Structure 1
Amino acid sequence: MSHALIADLGGTNARFALVPIHQYEPLEIRVLPCKNYANFFDAAADYIEHCSVDMENIDAVVLAIAGPVNQAVIRFSNNPWHFTRAEVQSYFGDDKPVALLNDFDAVGYSLEVLPKSDMVVLGEHATVDPKAPCWVVGAGTGLGISCVVPQDNGPNMVLPGEGGHVDLSACNDLEDDILKFLRTRHKRVSAERVLSGMGLENIYEAMAQREGIERRLTAPEIGEALKQGNDPIASAALEQFFVFLGRVIGDLVLSVESRGGVYIAGGIVPRYLNEILKSGFRDAMQDKGRMKEFVSPIPTFVVMSEYPGLMGCACYASYLVSKA
């Protein structure tokens, strides 16, 4: 049986797996901390050495990368690794089809194969137009965004971009204070500065300072404080995180009428599913003044699958082999 080698290469971890061609459930998954390897090739060699399939039985390689892939030298947004397409092709062999995808482009391809049971509806609306564009958004080490346009024949068209780095706007005094705090540190405040693990830390620190407290917790420490239930700033910071997420997603929907829905992946939101269900996320998304009725019907879903990026790579690998 022929297989594809697939990998979802993030800012913190590199997730490698195998998958039989035309199947989509990743096998032999290993999550390798990026900091343990000098470069991608060292991590790939470690995985290949310990997997059950020899490289000669690998018919395709698909890598999802946390950063822009249409560059001469591909660099990661939150990771010092870098390489060129030619280096990757040479490493795996000139006879193998190799594809490099943005990590959230890969999540976009996964929408073709993700089971409905892996999606949780946020809000009152759940009806999608399967032929209409949709957005994929995910907060983790960074903020990934991709726009997906379904096609009648062939894979979804995924429009590349770095939407996580758009300017962040504020809509009330609290948000003004958070942005003022962050501008003293970063001058320009992008959406990723609040919608990521680092972003949750930034929100916490800004809200603490607003209360006259000098304190910054790491994202795991904020998570622990939320479990303990003894830190009101942690609860308020997570609520504001969801509000900012709603505002950004509402802006995306205004940019592209995404009747296909909005799919929220990444490492943070699925971890706090109960909290986002009770939060002001949807109110903030729909808070678009005269355009509220335009935005309100758009359904939003949390993707609960643990490895949507790998599933998207598996889906793309099937098209890659069929085309070869």
Structure 2
Amino acid sequence: MVESRAPDCPTPLQGPRLVGDIGGTNARLGWQAQAGAPIESVLTLPCAAHASLEAAIRAYLTQTGLPLPVAASLGMANPVTGDAVAMTNHHWRFSVEGLRASLGLSRLLVLNDFTALALALPTLKADVLRPVGHGVAQERAPKALLGAGTGLGVSGLLPRPQGGWTPLAGEGGHVSLAAQTTEEFAVVQHLQAQHGHVSAERVLSGAGLLALYHALAQVQGQTSAPLVHAADVLQGAQDDPQGLAGQTLAMFCGFLGSVAGDLALILGAQGGVYIGGGIVPRLGARFALSPFRARFEAKGRFRAYLQSIPVWVIDSPQSPALEGAAQALDGPS
């Protein structure tokens, strides 16, 4: 999390704020009239349609007719470790200090997008959470978060002894992917020959789903259809669950279950595991019928431990990361 303040920035800072959830494909921007106010005027802008993040922000303000805010908080789909920010799955680059000054903001906060989403987890209502399997969350226990979209985001929340939560900022999507079946080993070896390191994100993302489809076709000796988008694989899986696309989606969900189970064990996530991102929420009831939950629990002696942990898919019409970005401006939750 990196912050830039103008030399004359007052404390506390009053006035309207811009909040953003900036992914590799879309920039979701919203407006808060003041701290604690509802997030309104939410727009989704395609990243490819704008030369820079600043251009996207100015386009948002033009389209909504809103004035420049006094502060902004932006969740970004990349590591945020210093003033220079470079997106992992898009070409936008900027200086936090330079962007603040160019927009005339008194304060700019930039954090990882899944760190922002993690901050919002305690505020999520039951009507935006779809359970996958059983389990009961323990209060004041760690929560895990992951989600496949343009990339694979990973985060979590750790309870603080004095109350509130500490969000985790990391790049867990780039851990090495571990195969569990003979066919998965063959697929990973095929991808390794192409890319060297096979990270979880190499498979568990939009581009990864497509790569998995073509790799599985090679392993099975099939001729794959010339699909170019992850949505094509999802549609193919819906049309023919037993076909190549359906098998690809099942393998995708199995890999995701293994990675989610690993994350739950690492964090001791007895407060639950949350799944965001753009892919899984689109699967609807199909996800609950997938290999995900069985693979999530398939950890040998710790099967019973994982069986007790609930898993939810976040299915919200508005990105909860916007609320998390606003909370980051307000300080520790």
Whether these two folds match at TM > 0.5 is yes
Deviation at 1:155, TM superposition (A): 5.5
Matching of residue 44 in structure 1 with residue 57 in structure 2: yes
Identity of aligned residues (%): 35
SS of 1:79's equivalent?
coil
Among 293, 310, 316, which residue is 1:305 paired with? Answer: 316
Aligned structure 1 segments of 4 or more residues deviating by more than 6 angstroms = none
User: Following superposition of structure 1 onto structure 2, how do residues 124-273 of structure 1 map, counting pairs within 5 Å?
Assistant: 124-125=134-135, 127-151=136-160, 156-215=165-224, 216-217=226-227, 218-229=229-240, 232-273=243-284
Task: Show CA shifts across 1:34-87 (max 9, x none).
Answer: 1111111111111122324322xx342100100001134211110010112211
Among 97, 101, 104, which residue is 1:93 paired with? Answer: 104
2-structure distance, mates of 1:315, 1:115: 16
Q: Is the 8 A contact 1:136 1:147 kept in 2?
A: yes
Deviation at 1:275, TM superposition (A): 1.1
Task: Give the stretch that moved more between structures: 160-169 or 249-258.
Answer: 249-258
Matching of residue 317 in structure 1 with residue 329 in structure 2: yes
- Which residue of 1 is the match for residue 124 of structure 2? 114
Matching of residue 4 in structure 1 with residue 13 in structure 2: no
Task: Give the letter for the 1:18 counterpart.
Answer: W
Deviation at 1:117, TM superposition (A): 1.3
Which segments of 5 or more consecutive residues in structure 1 lack a partner in the other structure?
A: none
2-structure distance, mates of 1:198, 1:234: 14
1-structure distance, mates of 2:20, 2:194: 34
Among 13, 17, 20, which residue is 2:33 paired with? Answer: 20
Q: Is the 8 A contact 1:17 1:29 kept in 2?
A: yes
Which segments of 5 or more consecutive residues in structure 2 lack a partner in the other structure?
A: 1-13
2-structure distance, mates of 1:222, 1:232: 11
Task: Show CA shifts across 1:172-222 (max 9, x none).
Answer: 101101101101111110000110011111221122122212425221211
2-structure distance, mates of 1:115, 1:51: 28
2-structure distance, mates of 1:317, 1:53: 20
Cα separation, partners in 2 of 1:204 and 1:25, compared to 1, 3 Å:
farther
Task: Give the stretch that moved more between structures: 139-148 or 107-116.
Answer: 107-116
2-structure distance, mates of 1:316, 1:211: 48
1-structure distance, mates of 2:36, 2:316: 16
Task: Give the letter for the 1:115 counterpart.
Answer: K
Deviation at 1:22, TM superposition (A): 4.1
